[in-house]
Chains A and B, each alone.
Chain A
Amino acid sequence: MSVEFDRKIHNTLADADLQLAIYTATARLKDKRVETTAPDALPEYQELRTQAHAVKKHTIENLDYYLEEFERNVEAHGGKVVYAKDGTEVSDFVLSLAKERGARLIVKSKSMTTEEVDLNERLEHHGLESVETDLGEYIIQLAHERPYHIVAPALHMTRYQVADLFTERLKVPRETVIEKQTAIARKMLRQKFLAADIGISGANFLVAGSGAVVLVENEGNIRLTTSAPKIHIAIAGIEKMIPRAQDLAVFLKLLGRSGTGQLLTVYTSFLSGPRRGAEIDGPDEFYVVLLDNGRTRLLPDRGKRQSLYCIRCGACLNACPVYRKIGGHSFPWVYSGPIGAIITPQFMGVSHEPALPFASSLCGACAEVCPVKIDIPKVLLELRSDVKKAEARDQRGRLEKLAFRAFAWLMTHPRLYEMAGKLAAAVAPPGDGWIKSVPAPMNVGPLRAWLSQRDLPPAPARSFREMWRRR
């Protein structure tokens, strides 16, 4: 475990306010999900999960086909598709377009994909202003933090912290009433929306057969981002694809309920291309950036490929006993909770934080609530095996390997094994209690560390082999 991971976990556990905030927020989201997916509320819930899984599986197994179909349809509607292998290619595209069009101000709607590639930082580094417009994201952008939760990015902050932040960063009088804080943000951001040159959104789904980007939200900032500026750029992971618009009848029913316990979010936008013909408003230019950023790396593995079925509802975070204690910022990358524990090592490589796949009790609560039935515990186990294989390849695994080789040799030589057993019994401390330590010369290093957490049973008067011979 890295020192960083360990420290963040301990800090979170020691912070009583934070513990309460995480516990209350996740409990609320969890209860609302249970309510709206209960058999009397949605009798076909399990059937929908099975279908969603099947559709995602089919799409990922034929992803190249659907990407090309998507591309053709976006272009048929006057939009443009750009492929990007990583964050640099995404920001290069946005920067060159902004330069060509003389754009300076960008409004952004919440997108985990752009968090993944630190898009705001990259754009701001080149002198563009890029403003997050989802209230929670706006708050954490002002605080220079990362989202705490996939659907509730500022879950960890209180109204008092928000008040201090607004006073400091927006130069407004201190305001602790949440409605008024929201009104401050509305006013500030309304000016940005009306002045922005470019709107950047993410995507919840890409519909291949329509060339459409589908976005769900409650605030209206996504609609503004995608409708007010003259240019709309949607940035999406390649795995967001679904074949047809009809599939949304399944996915939309699952996403709102699993994420926030809503039958549908307040706004669901189905956008295909720039404004057409005599339509009065909407963007003149429409781009979709399809991002790889490590996704194709996990495609070859049939077992772990299902990690790409995720629709980012956040239900597994709320259900996870580990997330609910250690919170979102303990996780080493932008994705937290069980889904973060399986996609981070695959996108970033297992050595990014080798302890991550082990930070789970494998209780299975995540798999139970996953709307697309990703078998998260199974993928965690496979990743644990990958971590061990990687360790075996490097220095740290050598000693352990040597010890196991010696043990294997001993086990395959019965005489020696018996002698070693007798020797161990002879040096074991007297008495018939549990053995808590070993004699001084051996009580060092790994053996000592191992015994600090474990006791050994007392040495038997006679070994099994002896009893067998005298039977």
Chain B
Amino acid sequence: MSRDNILHRIRTAVGRSAGQAVADPPPVRIRIPDVAMEKRIATMFERIEALSGRAHRAATPEDARAFVAAAIEGKSAVASNAPFLAECGIATLPGVRSGILDREELRGLCATLDVGITSADYALADTGSLVMIASPNEARLISLLPPSHIAVVPRDRILTGLDELFSILPNPAEATSSMVLITGPSRTADIEQILVRGVHGPGQFTVVVVG
């Protein structure tokens, strides 16, 4: 069987025996800078805009609701089951489908509607990224299939960057089958190095920070 064969070849080559313990892997640099929340938000917005995403600061949940309502006017949208979207009254906006738990139904909607609205579990200031953890609250396809993605994030979820994320979640696999970092709109430069947005994922990417 190839499994045992491959493992045996490796052990012979590196001089180990089956089940032999290993020393701890070399420590890696995890440094969490002390950055004030306002500075984090400013950096994150700068990054998102540099990637041609749109960033908006909403003072209150009502502001966020009004911003999203204006952004999806005349369009169809599907919202995730994130409690924060319900709290903001976004899930119940006219023209927004939400509360969907059936895979096939959700997939059909995501493939045909214009906008996908989600929250995010975290956001990373220094790269302008969203951290999306799949759960009954957040499906994978809402931030992926519709041509436009709007994420509404409470400000206390904004982390400094990757180092902080991996110190909060040293093993993301414990919580979910899928954690995705989203950094800007979908893009390609595969033909003549010319940048084109919205290849397979959303070409429009909007982040609303609430609070």
Indicate whether A51 sits within 8 Å of B200 (C-beta atoms), given known contacts A85-B6, A152-B190, A252-B162. Answer: no
Per the bound structure, the CA–CA distance linking A46 and B100 in Å amounts to: 48
Q: Which residues of B contact A219 (CB under 8 A)?
A: 186-188, 199-201
Q: Is the CB of B139 within 8 A of A68?
A: no
> How far in angstroms is the closest Cβ of chain B from A457?
49
Verify B171–A245 contact, CB threshold 8 A: yes
Assess whether A389 is interfacial by the CB under 8 Å rule.
no
Judged by a CB distance under 8 angstroms, whether A224 is at the interface is yes
| Neighbour of B199 across the interface among A135, A153, A250, A274, CB < 8 A | A135
Are B183 and A264 in touch, CB under 8 angstroms? yes
Nearest CB in chain B: distance from A251 CB, A: 9
Quick check: A275 and B177 within 8 Å, CB to CB?
yes
Is B172 at the interface (CB under 8 A from chain A)?
A: yes
CB of B54 within 8 A of chain A? no
Q: A221-B200, A246-B166, A274-B177 are in contact. Are A83 and B191 (CB under 8 A)?
A: no
When distances are taken between beta carbons in the complex, the residues of chain A under 8 Å from B47 are 263
The reply to whether B183 and A263 contact each other, CB–CB distance below 8 Å, is yes
User: Residue A61 at the B interface, CB < 8 A?
Assistant: yes
- Interface-side segment among A113-121, A179-187, A346-354, A433-441: A179-187
- A189-B200 contact in complex given A224-B144, A227-B141, A296-B6, C-beta closer than 8 Å: yes
Bound CA span A246–B92, Å: 38
Q: Contact at B187–A279, with CB atoms within 8 Å?
A: no
Sorting the interface of chain B by its residue count into under 10, 10 to 19, 20 to 34 or 35 or more gives 35 or more
How far is A250 from B129 in the complex, measured between Cα atoms in Å? 17
Complex Cα gap A179–B188 (Å):
10
Query: Is the pair A51, B193 in contact by a Cβ cutoff of 8 Å?
Result: no
Report which residue of A61, A64, A274, A286 has the largest number of chain B beta carbons within 10 angstroms of its beta carbon.
A64
CB of A33 closer than 8 Å to a CB of B: no
A272 contact set on B, CB distance < 8 A: 172-173, 176-178
Q: Are B177 and A282 in contact (CB-based, < 8 A)?
A: yes
CB of A77 within 8 A of CB of B171, answer no
Q: Write the chain A residue with the least CB distance to B105.
A: A280
User: Which residues of chain B (180-195) have a CB below 8 Å from chain A?
Assistant: 180-194
> A63-85: contact bitstring with B at CB < 8 Å (1 yes, 0 no)?
11111100001000100000111
Contact with B along A267-302 (1 / 0, CB 8 A): 111111111111111100010001010001001100
Task: For B200, list chain A residues within 8 Å (CB).
Answer: 133, 186, 189-190, 193, 219-221, 223-224
The answer to whether the Cβ of B74 comes within 8 Å of any Cβ in the partner chain is: no
What's the Cα separation between A71 and B63 when bound, in Å? 48
CA distance A54 to B26 in the complex (A): 7
Restricting to A161-211, which residues have a CB under 8 Å from any CB of B? 162, 178-179, 181-182, 185-186, 189-190, 193-194, 207, 209-211
Q: How far is B163's CA from A125's CA once the two chains are assembled, in angstroms? A: 46
Q: How far is the CA of A357 from the CA of B139 in the complex (A)?
A: 49
**Complex Cα gap A51–B14 (Å):** 21
Of residues 65 to 113 in B, which have CB atoms within 8 Å of A's CB atoms? 81, 100-103, 106-107, 111
A249 B166 Cβ-Cβ under 8 A: yes
Check A227–B178 contact: CB distance below 8 A.
Answer: yes
On whether the beta carbons of B111 and A276 are closer than 8 Å, the reply is no
* B125 shortest CB reach to chain A, Å: 11
When the two chains form their complex, are residues B2 and A178 in contact, meaning their CB atoms are under 8 A apart? no
Residue of A60, A223, A300 with most partner-chain B CB within 10 A: A223
Q: Which residues of chain B come closer than 8 Å to A193, judged between CB atoms? A: 200
Residue ranges of A at the interface with B (Cβ–Cβ < 8 Å): 21, 24-25, 28, 44, 47-48, 51, 54-55, 58-68, 73, 77, 83-85, 89, 133-136, 139, 152-155, 157-159, 162, 178-179, 181-182, 185-186, 189-190, 193-194, 207, 209-212, 218-221, 223-224, 226-228, 238, 243-250, 252-253, 262-282, 286, 290, 292, 296, 299-300
Please name 12 further chain A to chain B contacts, defined as beta carbons within 8 Å, in addition to the given A136-B188, A223-B140, sorted by A numbering: A64-B11, A65-B21, A227-B144, A246-B28, A249-B29, A266-B183, A267-B201, A271-B178, A272-B172, A273-B173, A279-B136, A281-B107
Chain B: residues with CB nearer than 8 A to chain A? Answer: 1-3, 5-7, 9-14, 16, 18, 20-23, 25-26, 28-30, 47, 51, 81, 100-103, 106-107, 111, 126-127, 129, 134-136, 139-141, 144-145, 162-163, 165-167, 169-173, 176-194, 196, 198-202
Name 19 A/B residue pairs within 8 A (Cβ), A-sorted. A54-B26, A55-B25, A58-B22, A136-B190, A152-B189, A152-B193, A154-B191, A182-B198, A194-B111, A219-B186, A220-B186, A246-B167, A267-B182, A269-B178, A270-B179, A270-B180, A282-B140, A296-B9, A299-B13
Q: Which 5 A-B pairs have the closest CB atoms?
A: A220-B201, A299-B13, A136-B190, A272-B173, A210-B173
